Amino acid sequence: MTQKEGTRPLVAGHIDALKPYVPGKPISELRRELGIENIIKLASNENPLGPSPAAVEAMRAVAGEAHIYPDAAAFAFREAVSRKDGVPLDRIGVGNGSNELLTLLVRTFCQPGDTGVVCQYSFIAYRIIMQAAGLKWSEAPVGPGYAMDVDAILEAVTDTTRVVFVANPNNPTGTYMPHTEVARLARTLPEEIILIVDEAYDDYVRAEGHQSALALTDVRERLVVTRTFSKVYGMGGARAGYMIAPAEMIGYVNRTREPFNVNAMAQAGAAAALFDEDFIGRSVSVNEESRALLEDGLKGLNEEHGGITWIPSETNFLLVETSRDGAALNDAMLRRGVIVRPMRGYGLPEALRISLGTPAEIERCVKALGESLAEYDGGKR
């Protein structure tokens, strides 16, 4: 940034160096840009079935009371979490999406000079949040198959480490750290460090022996588990998330958060969504169906065009390696009305992350990807 000598810069260096989070392209934006209709978005890991119907009903029911401030203690929401997860109320904190909770945790517990540890190719929000707070961090390299590596995480820890972020399963790779490994990390990390396990995709995990990190609260005091309503519950637009942490930590976050951080509609919708078992079950089974369909489609595309691989996923998306320029393929997909997520920002310039939409959407996506590959390869000749 240029500035006159002697004047004070508008922002600190770490803010100036921040790159904004790049969200999935909204359908309305692509429609404006290309003037095409019939666009599908498989870019933000949203639930293709829409929101939980129970949540919609609960949100409608409170919309008429929108002139009243929400419950600052979010009692009904936290009470629902307490019943669902079997944890006491004073260990539950709620946020305007789980992203806000991650921000609050860093703001509340990290001081200047503290540092963080993240896994290579992990959710970019962790780094944005730390950089915004002026924190530095180190990256624990992943192992073969992009597997998150507990030994690498432990090796990345130093005297200044204050917080360790693990997304399990991880976004954007879809990889899963087995519970025994999460347990080993929880046991081995020095006790003053806060271990945050982000379980945004927990409901989708089908791995044998899977357990939430919530089972590890006896093993480790400073453990925070975060959950979101943006994925299986289909409420990304409503903004709600929660965390389970020691009561003392929840108490401190209650001092730093805004009193009305979760709006009344989101509170009511989230509480209802937690017990919409039918919807959760349907969402997970459609996800399984779509994953099998996409894997099949990718297999076919690989036979036809070559160079297509993907990482086995325990989530509602697949990270697809294309052996080609991901940005160019993404453009070709956009022109066909299919929005996926290019991964250059994650250091994976040849990869596309594809959310598991409905089976019909997946069929359309595979067709568009096939055409895009043909177009790309044709252009190269």
Least distance to ligand PLP, CB of residue 313, Å: 12
Query: Does the protein bind ligand PLP through residue 357 (CB under 6 A)?
Result: no
Specify the residue, 107 or 335, whose C-beta has the smaller distance to ligand PLP.
Answer: 107
Specify the residue, 98 or 322, whose C-beta has the smaller distance to ligand PLP.
Answer: 98
Among all residues, whose Cβ is closest to ligand PLP? Answer: 97
Specify the residue, 97 or 234, whose C-beta has the smaller distance to ligand PLP.
Answer: 97
Contact with ligand PLP (CB under 6 A) among 45, 52, 120, 290: 45
- Backbone CA torsion sign across 330, 334, 335, 337: positive
How many chain residues interact with ligand PLP (CB under 6 A)?
Answer: 14
Query: Does the protein bind ligand PLP through residue 198 (CB under 6 A)?
Result: yes
- What is the spatial distance between Cα 69 and Cα 55, in angstroms, rounded to a whole number? 19
Specify the residue, 97 or 337, whose C-beta has the smaller distance to ligand PLP.
Answer: 97
**Integer-rounded Cα radius of gyration of the chain:** 21
Least distance to ligand PLP, CB of residue 172, Å: 8
- What is the spatial distance between Cα 313 and Cα 356, in angstroms, rounded to a whole number? 11
Least distance to ligand PLP, CB of residue 259, Å: 19
Give backbone dihedrals phi and psi of 354, rounded to 5 degrees, phi first: -115, 120
Sequence-ordered strand ranges (E) for the chain: 40-41, 92-95, 115-119, 136-140, 161-167, 194-198, 223-228, 241-244, 309-310, 317-321, 338-339, 341-342, 351-355
Query: Does the protein bind ligand PLP through residue 236 (CB under 6 A)?
Result: yes
HSE-CB at 252 with a 13 A cutoff on CA atoms is 11
Residues numbered 93-152 forming contacts with ligand PLP, rule: CB under 6 A: 97-99, 123
Contact with ligand PLP (CB under 6 A) among 115, 230, 330, 372: 230
Least distance to ligand PLP, CB of residue 227, Å: 8
Specify the residue, 134 or 236, whose C-beta has the smaller distance to ligand PLP.
Answer: 236
- Backbone CA torsion sign across 279, 76, 197, 181: negative
Helix (H, G, I), strand (E, B) or coil at 188: helix
CB 214 within 8 A of CB 168: no
Specify the residue, 228 or 261, whose C-beta has the smaller distance to ligand PLP.
Answer: 228
H or E stretch covering 53: helix 53-63
Specify the residue, 127 or 231, whose C-beta has the smaller distance to ligand PLP.
Answer: 231
Contact with ligand PLP (CB under 6 A) among 200, 213, 273, 373: 200
Specify the residue, 222 or 231, whose C-beta has the smaller distance to ligand PLP.
Answer: 231
Q: Calculate the dihedral angle through the C-alpha atoms of 228, 119, 186, 151, rounding to the nearest 10 degrees.
A: 160
Least distance to ligand PLP, CB of residue 271, Å: 16
Contact with ligand PLP (CB under 6 A) among 161, 171, 283, 372: 171
Tokens of 356: 């598991």
Which residues does 44 contact at the CB level (< 8 Å), separation at least 6?
Answer: 23, 24, 236, 341, 355
One-letter identity of residue 184: R
Tokens of 40: 């599908």
Q: Residues 209-228 vs ligand PLP: string with x where CB under 6 A? A: -------------------x
Query: Does the protein bind ligand PLP through residue 167 (CB under 6 A)?
Result: yes
Contact with ligand PLP (CB under 6 A) among 51, 70, 234, 241: 241
Least distance to ligand PLP, CB of residue 39, Å: 21
Specify the residue, 123 or 310, whose C-beta has the smaller distance to ligand PLP.
Answer: 123
Q: Nearest to residue 247, comparing CAs of 211, 222, 214?
A: 222
* Binding interface with ligand PLP (CB under 6 A): 45, 97-99, 123, 167, 171, 198, 200, 228, 230-231, 236, 241
